[in-house]
């Protein structure tokens, strides 16, 4: 029998809560060197496309246990504000345990319904999480409202769309989670009043940058 949307949502949340403690180890640790720099070159590329400045306000939606935190804080400095948002409580617990800087705000919320102040962020990241969001046009609309005019939405993965969709198929709890094709993505972004500045979809790197 087909699962309901509510059951799929619950299973997905459970899937991420269950992996919160080992997420960084699973995804970012180089098994050879033991260092957490498996994707260092791709992160350099991502941040070269998204040049954050000191004092900026950044939202990290679907943040997990906070792989982006050190890289964002290094760029926005102590005057900037970083909001770490995730619907999985244990991801936020782990993130909070690992990152103690006073300019981080932690928020357990669904990305589509989060209490985000309008026009309050310079940059919004959806890093390695967009396929998991239900009601994608609604999510992009909510994130666009939270951006200040001129602010940037970043949707990125270190896989192509095809790779990420194939990858999810092997995990039942997220096998329905799909990254839409380029025209659908660009259409959703345009419908939310954003202009696409860059769209890259190649082996090992996906990045859509859109400006308000």
* Residue ranges binding ligand SAM (CB under 6 A): 16, 23, 27, 62-64, 67, 86-88, 91, 110-111, 127-129, 132-133
Q: Which residue's CB atom is positioned nearest to ligand SAM? A: 64
Q: How far is the CB of 21 from ligand SAM (least distance, A)?
A: 12
Angle at 203 between CA 150 and CA 17, to 5 degrees: 75
Q: CB-wise, 55 or 133, nearer to ligand SAM?
A: 133
Closer residue to ligand SAM in complex, CB, 79/140: 140
Q: Which is nearer to ligand SAM, 55 or 101 (CB)?
A: 101
**Cβ 197 to ligand SAM, closest distance in Å?**
21
**DSSP string across 56-108:** -EEEEET-TTTTTHHHHHHHHTTTSEEEEEES-HHHHHHHHHH---TTEEEEE
Q: Any long-range contacts for 47-53 (C-beta under 8 Å, 24+ apart)?
A: 47/71, 47/75, 49/154, 49/198, 49/207, 49/209, 50/123, 50/125, 50/152, 50/154, 50/209, 51/75, 52/76, 52/80, 52/122, 52/123, 53/122
Q: How far apart are the first and last CA of the chain?
A: 42
In the complex, what is the shortest distance from the CB of residue 199 to ligand SAM, in angstroms, rounded to a whole number?
A: 20
Residue 169 vs 195, nearer CB to ligand SAM: 169
For ligand SAM, the closer CB: 72 or 129:
129
Contact, 61 vs 126, CB < 8 A? yes
Q: Shortest Cβ distance from residue 129 to ligand SAM (Å)?
A: 4
| Shortest CB 70 distance to ligand SAM, Å | 12
């Amino acid at each position: 029998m087909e699962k309901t949307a509510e059951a799929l949502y619950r299973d997905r949340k459970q899937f991420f809560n269950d992996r919160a403690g080992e997420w960084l180890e699973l995804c970012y640790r180089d098994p050879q060197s033991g260092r957490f720099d498996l994707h260092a070159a791709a992160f350099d590329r991502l941040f070269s496309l998204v040049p954050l400045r000191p004092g900026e306000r950044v939202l990290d939606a679907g943040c997990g246990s906070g792989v982006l935190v050190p890289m964002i804080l290094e760029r926005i400095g102590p005057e900037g504000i970083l909001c770490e948002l995730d619907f999985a409580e244990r991801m936020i617990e782990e993130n909070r345990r690992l990152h103690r800087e006073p300019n981080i705000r932690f928020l357990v919320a669904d990305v589509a319904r989060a209490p985000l102040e309008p026009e309050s962020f310079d940059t919004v990241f959806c890093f390695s999480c967009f396929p998991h969001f239900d009601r994608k046009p609604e999510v992009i609309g909510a994130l666009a409202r939270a951006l200040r005019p001129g602010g940037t939405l970043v949707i990125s993965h270190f896989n192509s769309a095809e790779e990420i969709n194939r990858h999810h198929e092997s995990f039942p709890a997220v096998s329905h989670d799909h990254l839409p094709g380029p025209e659908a993505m660009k259409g959703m972004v345009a419908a939310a009043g954003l202009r696409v500045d860059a769209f890259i979809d190649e082996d090992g790197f996906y990045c859509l940058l859109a400006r308000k």
